[in-house]
A and B are shown apart, each in its own frame.
Chain A
Amino acid sequence: DADVTQTPRNRITKTGKRIMLECSQTKGHDRMYWYRQDPGLGLRLIYYSFDVKDINKGEISDGYSVSRQAQAKFSLSLESAIPNQTALYFCATSDSPGQGATNEKLFFGSGTQLSVL
């Protein structure tokens, strides 16, 4: 079984609909992230959470919200989807760094391809 699981793998929806993407992990990591990737571009951070009570906006959080239901679960919501939110979405986890270190390696789910018509 995958250590980081995203559902659904693919989703097609219409403008204005509410969509939730879910992510769960069995790695025991405290830190979880949501990224989006557009064709030909790198990953851009939407939201991140360093523990269950911690939620932070990333560089492109407008139009999105998140919920950290448990250490292992981090969901991303689009309250009212719009076509320019069509993208490949990745959830990722990382372990908390040791003292004096930055965050370490990222482990990704398989991604959710979202299409908003």
Chain B
Amino acid sequence: RKEVEQDPGPFNVPEGATVAFNCTYSNSASQSFFWYRQDCRKEPKLLMSVYSSGNEDGRFTAQLNRASQYISLLIRDSKLSDSATYLCVVNSYTNAGKSTFGDGTTLTVKP
């Protein structure tokens, strides 16, 4: 089993739709959680950190459920420009603080 698992997708949604991605992690000692966005063949860029209380940044909402060991990303009112691959990233002390990446979930927003 991979340490970080994501729905691979692809998710194909119309503009304006709401879409949610889930990510599960196996290391219960995980401390920090992030969502990165990656456009095709380009470098990943931090989208948002995920806090225990949940956090929101405009149309994006991230949630953490430590008991069930998953994090989620909700995108409301999808835009064409949201089309990308979304990478779930988990850090833990037991992994020397290094980041472990999921394989990514691909989103395509269509007109």
Contacts and interface: CB of A to CB of B under 8 A. Distances in A.
B87 to A, nearest CB: 6
A90 B92 CA distance: 21
Interface of B: 4, 8, 31-32, 34, 36, 41-46, 49, 87, 89, 91-93, 96-99, 101-104
Contacts, number: 59
Contacts of A109: 43
Interface centre among B36, B41, B43 (most CB of A within 10 A): B43
10 interchain residue pairs of minimum CB distance: A42-B101, A108-B43, A102-B91, A102-B97, A103-B97, A42-B103, A102-B31, A43-B101, A102-B32, A105-B46
Contacts of A33: 98
Nearest to A105: B46
Nearest to B103: A42
Interface in A56-80: 56, 58
B91 to A, nearest CB: 4
Interface of A: 33, 35, 40-45, 48, 56, 58, 88, 90, 97, 101-111, 113
A105 B92 contact: no
Contacts of B99: 45, 103, 106
B93 to A, nearest CB: 6
B2 to A, nearest CB: 9
Contacts of A111: 41-43
Given A102-B91, A113-B41, A42 B104 contact: yes
14 contacts: A40-B8, A40-B103, A40-B104, A42-B4, A48-B98, A58-B98, A101-B31, A102-B31, A102-B32, A104-B32, A105-B49, A107-B46, A108-B44, A111-B41
Given A43-B101, A44-B101, 16 more contacts: A40-B103, A40-B104, A41-B103, A42-B102, A43-B87, A58-B98, A90-B43, A90-B44, A102-B91, A102-B92, A104-B32, A106-B89, A106-B99, A110-B43, A111-B41, A113-B41
